[in-house]
Structure 1
């Protein structure tokens, strides 16, 4: 659907909902969000003035109308429980054909002032004062979410989150030893929980709208479900959502303030060990989600293939985080350095790495002055070119090391090692196995993101 077609469809629907005199500006697609499209536009009404709205829409061809309806119902109950969320203007239903109005399942909501981009929230001076108070406030906000009435949100599903994740993992392709070790650890160290609440499912830096005063809105309820409320606290503390900050709670501050805010709001003190278990689960979950997104990117019909495929290589970051959380460390062998000045290569200079580097710089700087979505995608493309360049330079040496480490542990392939770890016939307590696992993870990270 072109921008002009979407604008016309929005105007038709807005006139049905808000009045025949309304007009709609050309929608602008916002950056980020690999699973859904997000657009902003302005509604003008001669009698009431202008109003900025947000459209959240499933990519056409990949709709989940029941999930969108569940998200809309969660907004209503969240407001009742005192959780800040945008006001809903309209949404498609999972039981009729309203999704046809905009091409796929959707939510229409007010656009609130504030910032959601983590890099700005963590680095801009204007948010310096509020960063110190955010962990406490986020604890209180989570306690309110966990006070929502599960019966007021029909369709919430629950169940064993580890087994749900395992099923999803098995559908995403080749098995990985680090992930197998993490699944086994989670199953052997399950925390006890007597609580069953609404769980936001994606409460993290990047899905929170903030300003200098604090939390303006909790966004992106598409993964809402029911279960152990500590899942949300663990997910917020996953290293991925710190965006380079050393502070564990979304990059903003310490767990003690998060726990204190939670207890002050609801009278229940979080168990740190339970939250740690859910943090490890969340790290594993993000790894599986990265694999899932990459698989989506390989399917014809996706219009954000570049971003989806780039996310697939972020599994390497999760592997390192899981090894650290499990106390297994990382590989000590130094990563080889590419020798771009070598003269005995069959193809000579410039090398493949040098060619990719110059194209990368062209892409990065050639988007200056373009619209925000194009600038964002150019940055993603530049990162992808960096990955390709490092793989071209280091791939042969890293693959040789990988084969040697596997054979030293008694395996001919990484999937065979993963199968043995799953079956319990191999263990990371074996130094040769641990070396093979760490070596593979280090190799992937050296190519995907050596600065991580």
Structure 2
């Protein structure tokens, strides 16, 4: 773990005047960037801050814009009345901490599980209002480096990535073909946050407070494009964190969310366009998970978290089938599922690979995790999750790849009208998700709906 104490203290002295740094600790969240919380005590007293950073410029090389542009956008959003953090300084090359910027720390709840257990009554309206404010930011206030998304070109890029990753996952091929067939006409571009969901918002939850949305975080995927993309992203099944009965953010209904957005000045919601983006972003995240595995395999990011997220593709494949099964004839939707593969026999003789993995996982749980703190404890839990996936995989021997079927779906040579195809896809998605993400809430729902 890098020692940022001296360079960060020098940076804060440069932008805020003499003072003392204390309480520096890495926050556990942030799938792509590091976040560090700290306090700075100067002549005007103590203030709470967060450093958002990438360790090097190379880490940012494949991104459409760097941290200076991102920081300028966050500042523009904050100045435009959006509940974005207040940026106080941007790292320079000579600061010796990679690239990034420092913000004032917002003290509020960020855990989706905690928020969704008892969401403030105003939260859904707050989410709709805040998104309308983001979409209303004037073009002149948005930094020049923020790109404009061409939906057709972006879909073609997703397809190219899929093929480069093997092109062998039928559920993903089905979704790509559907998106190609339902590509909407271009929309008047607005600022799209790009990651507007539970996990990237903070909520006032303290007893005695009115409560409500406190901050919108993680602006690194922002671009100009169709506002329906933002509307749909937080409504993906994965970002409801188990609250499947509340399709908008795990908080409420689509219609209440749309009404709040429109009441705050957002454009009228086109339901067909919203559905396209719900499928598209679920597809996007399925490929994003596969990309995490590629990042680990290439050596670009060797953390165990990357390989674990790489196996979350199965969640999105399950969700894609759930979104697209309505395209199948009624008789196919009612068709029973084929059986699952037979379970492995009970082991005898020398320890099996599965038992050896179990022993290592148990050792991490009993000897490593209890002694770890902060981000190290998070990494221990991720390592245990990785070994759990391997154990279940060794038991089941389930694979998701079928290059010939994926190619036929991409080419439009077959569809969900083919007898038995939907049932096969459902069975494969259930079995693969049971290996990779057995606690995924949508898995239990799909089993009930599909009879699996």
Matched residues in 1 for 2:365 and 2:310: separation?
Answer: 21
Count of paired positions = 419
Question: Could you give the per-residue CA deviations for residues 125-160 of structure 1, whole angstroms, max 9, x where no partner exists?
Answer: xxx250x43112101110000001123221221232
Tell which deviates more after alignment, 63-72 or 208-217: 63-72
Q: 1:150 aligns with which of 129, 139, 150?
A: 139
Q: Which runs of 5+ in 2 are unaligned?
A: 206-210, 441-452
Q: Does 1:63 align with 2:56?
A: no
Check conservation: 1:180, 1:422, Cα contact below 8 A: yes
Q: 2:48 aligns with which of 49, 52, 58?
A: 52
Check conservation: 1:37, 1:58, Cα contact below 8 A: yes
Q: What is aligned with 1:140? A: 129
TM-score (norm 2): 0.86
Matched residues in 1 for 2:293 and 2:200: separation?
Answer: 21
Question: Could you give the per-residue CA deviations for residues 337-391 of structure 1, whole angstroms, max 9, x where no partner exists?
Answer: 7456344xxxx26443344334324323441253121221121111111100011
Question: Could you give the per-residue CA deviations for residues 224-259 of structure 1, whole angstroms, max 9, x where no partner exists?
Answer: 000110110100101110111111122111112211
Check conservation: 1:331, 1:438, Cα contact below 8 A: no
Matched residues in 2 for 1:145 and 1:167: separation?
Answer: 26
Pairwise CA RMSD: 2.4
Q: Which runs of 5+ in 1 are unaligned?
A: 93-97, 403-412
Q: What is aligned with 2:173? A: 180
Question: Could you give the per-residue CA deviations for residues 309-354 of structure 1, whole angstroms, max 9, x where no partner exists?
Answer: 11000000000000000016698234457456344xxxx2644334
Q: 1:431 aligns with which of 401, 404, 419?
A: 419
Question: Could you give the per-residue CA deviations for residues 91-122 of structure 1, whole angstroms, max 9, x where no partner exists?
Answer: 14xxxxx1441432101101111011112212
Check conservation: 1:3, 1:26, Cα contact below 8 A: no
Deviation of the 1:297 alpha carbon? 1.8
TM-score (norm 1): 0.86
Partner SS state of residue 426, structure 1: coil
Check conservation: 1:316, 1:448, Cα contact below 8 A: yes
Partner SS state of residue 415, structure 2: coil
Deviation of the 1:72 alpha carbon? 1.2
Partner SS state of residue 109, structure 2: coil
CA gap of 1:83–1:178, structure 2 versus 1, over 3 A, is same
Matched residues in 1 for 2:97 and 2:237: separation?
Answer: 36
Matched residues in 2 for 1:244 and 1:228: separation?
Answer: 27
Partner SS state of residue 450, structure 1: coil
Matched residues in 1 for 2:200 and 2:79: separation?
Answer: 20
Deviation of the 1:162 alpha carbon? 4.7
Matched residues in 1 for 2:366 and 2:47: separation?
Answer: 35
